[in-house]
Amino acid sequence: MIKNILITGCSHGFGHALALNFAEAGCSVYAVSRNAEALEQLKANYPALIQPIVADIATEMGRGTITEQIMHQGKPISIIHNAAIAEPCPFDQLTEEVLLQHFSTNVFAPILITNMCLKNGLLAAGQRVLDISSGSADLVLPALLPYCSSKAALERATACMNRELSTQSVYCASLRPGMLDTPMQEDFRRSDVLPGRDFYQKAHDQKQLLSPELAAKFARWVLLNTDDLQFGGNLFNIYDVALHPNWLPQGVPAPAFGMVSDFLLPRVPY
């Protein structure tokens, strides 16, 4: 049974909403962020259930801090890898440093934290790993190569981990929460280098963005209420209408995206 959950990227946005939602469900939450002040404010909502862990998941020291603090509690955990960066960068300005920043946070950290938790007995039979992905993993978006490619890599890594860990009754899955009204979207709308900036502004103005709180309800159903066969190795999309009856609160409009034709850019031959 899942009672203790490690969630990364909890200082704001989707991670913040995830921490509150799972605490509301009675789960103990290990909330990770580099922002100590934001974590203390988060903890104030559920002092008995939310434990802040100040750490940078992109560094070996930060990952070690996470493992040590959870080991001290001596309880098995499930994991939601939510932390990610998405900094627009035109290809002609791309550097090794930019690529490493994205892959270190968006891909390497989820893999390595999962690995460390498994080796230290924290990720045991009956527990799950949910990696937060993005529709960008399937899209070709100018100036977002590091983000798109790292999310695509994460989805494949999740599937590979599930193939191995499922033999130990530890299951891994990916989740696409949709376009959320978060600071990441604000950054896209303000970017001076993102060719598609007008699209993101239009999505905001036309109220196409979903609330992080709604997406957190979806994630809660996926992690806590699916069976192992349904969960393991699968990709859950918040826009999947077949799943809506399982988790969508009564009376809440179904998540939908009405700007698909605007979002999908003409395909360019490779």
pLDDT number for residue 257: 82
Give the domain ranges of the chain: 4-263
pLDDT number for residue 261: 55
Whether the per-residue pLDDT at 270 is higher than 60: the answer is: no
Residue positions counted in the chain: 270
pTM: 0.95
pLDDT number for residue 268: 44
| CA gap 154, 113 in Å, rounded | 13
> Over the chain, what is the mean pLDDT?
94
pLDDT number for residue 267: 47
| CA gap 108, 228 in Å, rounded | 25
Q: Answer yes or no: are the C-beta atoms of 56 and 34 closer than 8 Å.
A: yes
What class, spelled out in words, does domain 4-263 have in CATH? Answer: alpha beta
pLDDT number for residue 101: 97
pLDDT number for residue 269: 43
Average pLDDT score over residue span 63-73? 92
Q: Which pair of tokens denotes residue 176?
A: 């696409």
Average pLDDT score over residue span 19-24? 98
Q: Is the dihedral of CA 13, 19, 22, 25 positive or negative?
A: negative
| Tens digits of residue pLDDT in 189-236 | 999 999 989 999 999 999 999 999 999 999 999 999 999 999 999 999
| Tens digits of residue pLDDT in 89-139 | 999 999 999 999 999 999 999 999 999 999 999 999 999 999 999 999 999
Q: Which pair of tokens denotes residue 174?
A: 């990916």
- What are the residues facing 30 on neighbouring strands? 6, 51
| CA gap 61, 64 in Å, rounded | 5
First to last CA, the chain: 47
